[in-house]
Amino acid sequence: MNNNDNNKKNLPPARSFIVFLIISIVATVILNLVITSISAPKAQEILYSDFMQMVEDDQVEEVIITADKIQIYKKPSEEQSTTDKLMQLWGVGNSEQRELYYTGYLNDPRLFDLLDQHGVKYSTPIQYSNPFLEFLLTWILPLVFIYGMFFLLSKSLSKKMGGGVMGIGQSKAKMYMQNKTGITFRDVAGQEEAKESLNEIVDFLHNPSKYTAIGAKQPKGALLVGPPGTGKTLLAKAVAGEANVPFFSLSGSEFVEMFVGVGASRVRDLFKQASQNAPCIIFIDEIDAIGKSRDNQIGSNDEREQTLNQLLAEMDGFDSSKGVVILAATNRPEILDKALLRPGRFDRRIIVEKPDLKGREAILRVHAKNVKTAPNVDLHDMALATSGAVGADLANMVNEAALRAVRLGRNVVTQEDLMEAVEVIIAGKEKKDRILSEQEKHIVAYHEVGHALATAVSKNCDPVQKITIVPRTMGALGYTMQKPEEEKYLMNKDEMLDEIVVFLAGRAAEEIVFGIKTTGAANDIERATEMARNMITLYGMSDKFGMMALESIQNRYLDGRRVSNCSAETQTLIDAEVSKTLQSCYDRAVAILKDNREALDKISEFLIDKETITGKQFMDIFNDVKASLESGETAESETEETQPPEDNSSEQ
């Protein structure tokens, strides 16, 4: 009963009648075609001589002569087939079914005399010609049909693609109202400075009078700049949610099409919609897709430049008092056109950096509020272990911890789940099916303990939290995890040199114990080389070059690609200086491990047995070995002091 009612609601009466009428017509036509195909006689081609013979044998009843063909109806036979009887029962066709033949027409003077002699009926059809009707059927109706099909198709595509001629020139911006975004500043953590800058825009949209009273103008636009995953898009949606105004969101790449002028048309349409819905917010994500500098170099694009020109004109043209605010986000501010960044267009550049320790803890609290956690969970400890992580990384870690808790059959997330999630994101999952040989296990253990010992001896390194020789899915056969005791924003030269020593201590342990070099130090060498090069080329920490910027960084928020600012000869000297720095740090690492060889052996054997040890276990063994050595040295010195002095008087 309910289904019928729903069908009636979905299908109006007028439409139901039209559908029924169309189905009836189609069914009638199909039935007639079937009956006609069954009842129509099947024609068979014969030779003209055979036709003449059939006439002489009195087998022909009637012929129809046309300009090029003769249709021959043979006299019906006395026996009636099953099909003929069925057709007669239905009342279709003749009671007597005649066989049909045809042959080509020849200008034969004997034909008509022979037909008269054998009493054959003959005739020819009259051809009626109507030039207007022929023109209508041949030209007008096909054109009308093609135009109608094109009109219906373009109308259908227009609805799907947003209007216009197949939607090409229309804006593809998605408009969200406040109740659809559902995001406010409470959902954004770790970006307090960015929220403070954007809060003024929200306040201006709510209370424009108090700003105009003093003569202040609303900022036309704000550019959100920062690494991927820091929450730029989330901040823009939060602004719309706080302001409770329409929010137009689209990507910069949606402006550009293969047709020249389409992007500019979409920009005009976007600002037209925004003016009609003011006050509102326009958010253009990845604006560098259309905002690249117009440098007329190889790779420039006329369509993109026209789109940028139109965007610049629209930003200059609209009245800021109407309450239209433009927000944009990019990871590559250095490639944007200077005209786009000048005051009056994007008045503010809001930096959305990676969060600090306090910010990471706040982000973790936001993402953990919807997750059931154990009472003893310490998010501060997790924030310390995730230095350099952005909001997207932290959200992923909390989700991984929740998945791990479910996988292990727990109904709450524990501290162990959270810290394991950090390791999964950093190094990958444990690869349990990869079994190392005893020789490889010893090499990996000594390698990782070498890192840890260099960390323990150095004064400027973060303490060890965990050492493991369990292989991970990201390629690591083992790793040493360090956890800072506090957040650091600066590093001095001694701290950087100590970090390089720690990186190279793994290779040093391999050479000291086994006398070999393995591929396991590849990542350590890469990181040590990068840090040594940064010291020399970026930070001015080289005695040879002094405070000289030898390289600069491009795409700072993405890959951090280096660009050389010096000659090829200087580059050669830089390479030599980097090699000298690395060799000096390697020699220090070798000296540290040789001085602590007993601790290296004992901790490595313990790690081989346990496969994973904590930082506390590592320090306990290290301190025990150190204490035993110191006590042994003290006992030896005391023994030497109690021995009587030798009498050398006889030698004198």
Residue-wise pLDDT for 632-641, tens only, equals: 665 555 555 5
Q: Is 344 helix (H, G, I), strand (E, B) or coil?
A: coil
* 277 vs 275: CA distance, rounded Å: 5
Residue 263's alpha-carbon distances to 336, 346, 555, in angstroms, are 17, 20, 26
**pTM of the entire predicted model:** 0.66
pLDDT of the residue at 630:
78
Q: Region 512-541: what's the mean pLDDT?
A: 93
Q: What is the pLDDT of residues 547-565, one digit of tens each?
A: 888 988 877 777 777 888 8
Using pLDDT thresholds of 50, 70 and 90, give the confidence band for residue 7: very low
As a whole number, the mean pLDDT across the chain is 79
Class of domain 174-351: alpha beta
Residue 530's alpha-carbon distances to 141, 478, 503, 538, in angstroms, are 75, 22, 11, 11
Q: What is the pLDDT of residues 231-241, one digit of tens each?
A: 888 888 888 88
β pairing state of 479-482 and 464-468: antiparallel
Using pLDDT thresholds of 50, 70 and 90, give the confidence band for residue 155: low
Burial 353-374 (b: 16+ CB within 10 A, else e): bbbebebbbbbbebbbeebebe
Angle at 465 between CA 463 and CA 466, to 5 degrees: 135
pLDDT of the residue at 430:
73
Q: Region 199-203: what's the mean pLDDT?
A: 84
* 242 vs 244: CA distance, rounded Å: 6
* 199 vs 193: CA distance, rounded Å: 10
Residue 1, pLDDT above cutoff 50: no
Residue 59, pLDDT above cutoff 70: yes
pLDDT of the residue at 268:
85
Burial 616-637 (b: 16+ CB within 10 A, else e): ebbeebbeebeeeeeeeeeeee
Q: Considering Cα of 461, then 466, then 469, then 474, what sign does the dihedral take?
A: negative
* 521 vs 516: CA distance, rounded Å: 12
Q: Region 134-147: what's the mean pLDDT?
A: 70
Residue 118, pLDDT above cutoff 50: yes
| Tokens representing residue 470 in the block | 């369990």
- Contacts of residue 265, Cβ cutoff 8 Å, sequence gap at least 6: 168, 169, 170
Q: What is the pLDDT of residues 487-498, one digit of tens each?
A: 788 899 999 999
* 551 vs 533: CA distance, rounded Å: 10
Q: Which option is the CATH number for 41-127: 3.30.720.210, 3.30.1130.10, 3.40.50.12160, 3.40.640.10? A: 3.30.720.210
Q: Region 573-599: what's the mean pLDDT?
A: 94
Q: Which of 445, 415, 439 is nearest to 610 (CA)?
A: 445
Q: What is the pLDDT of residues 351-407, one digit of tens each?
A: 888 888 888 999 999 889 889 998 889 898 888 888 888 888 899 999 999 999 999
* 448 vs 489: CA distance, rounded Å: 27
Q: Region 313-319: what's the mean pLDDT?
A: 77
| Tokens representing residue 446 in the block | 């000594």
Q: What is the pLDDT of residues 433-481, one digit of tens each?
A: 677 888 999 999 999 999 999 999 988 888 898 899 888 876 778 888 8
Residue 99, pLDDT above cutoff 70: yes
pLDDT of the residue at 518:
92
Using pLDDT thresholds of 50, 70 and 90, give the confidence band for residue 627: confident
pLDDT of the residue at 603:
94
Q: Region 160-173: what's the mean pLDDT?
A: 47
Strand partners, 175: 248
Q: Which of 48-62, 310-324, 372-386, 614-628 has the lowest mean pLDDT?
A: 310-324
Using pLDDT thresholds of 50, 70 and 90, give the confidence band for residue 508: very high
Class of domain 373-427: mainly alpha
CA torsion 41-45-50-53 (nearest 10°) is 20
Residue 266, pLDDT above cutoff 60: yes
pLDDT of the residue at 95:
42
Q: What is the pLDDT of residues 441-453, one digit of tens each?
A: 999 999 999 999 9
CATH architecture of 438-632: Up-down Bundle (1.20)
* 249 vs 329: CA distance, rounded Å: 11
Residue 84, pLDDT above cutoff 70: no
Q: Do 52 and 101 form a contact (C-beta atoms < 8 A)?
A: no
Q: Is 448 one of the annotated active-site residues of the chain?
A: yes
pLDDT of the residue at 314:
84
**Within 13 Å of residue 582, how many CA atoms lie on the same side as its CB?**
21
pLDDT of the residue at 252:
80
Q: Is 650 helix (H, G, I), strand (E, B) or coil?
A: coil
Locate tokens 């409470």: which residue? 186
Q: Which of 85-89, 223-227, 555-559, 646-650 has the lowest mean pLDDT?
A: 646-650
- What Rg value do the Cα atoms of the chain yield, rounded? 44
pLDDT of the residue at 564:
87
* 28 vs 180: CA distance, rounded Å: 51
pLDDT of the residue at 28:
59
Q: Considering Cα of 330, then 334, then 336, then 339, what sign does the dihedral take?
A: positive
Q: Which carries the bigger pLDDT value, residue 459 or residue 576? A: 576
Q: What is the pLDDT of residues 167-198, one digit of tens each?
A: 444 555 555 444 455 788 888 888 888 888 88
67: number of Cβ within 10 Å: 7
pLDDT of the residue at 482:
85
Q: What is the pLDDT of residues 273-288, one digit of tens each?
A: 888 887 888 888 888 8
Q: Is 437 helix (H, G, I), strand (E, B) or coil?
A: coil
pLDDT of the residue at 498:
94
- Of the residues 448, 499, 510, 577, only one is catalytic, namely 448
Percentage of the chain beyond pLDDT 70 is: 78
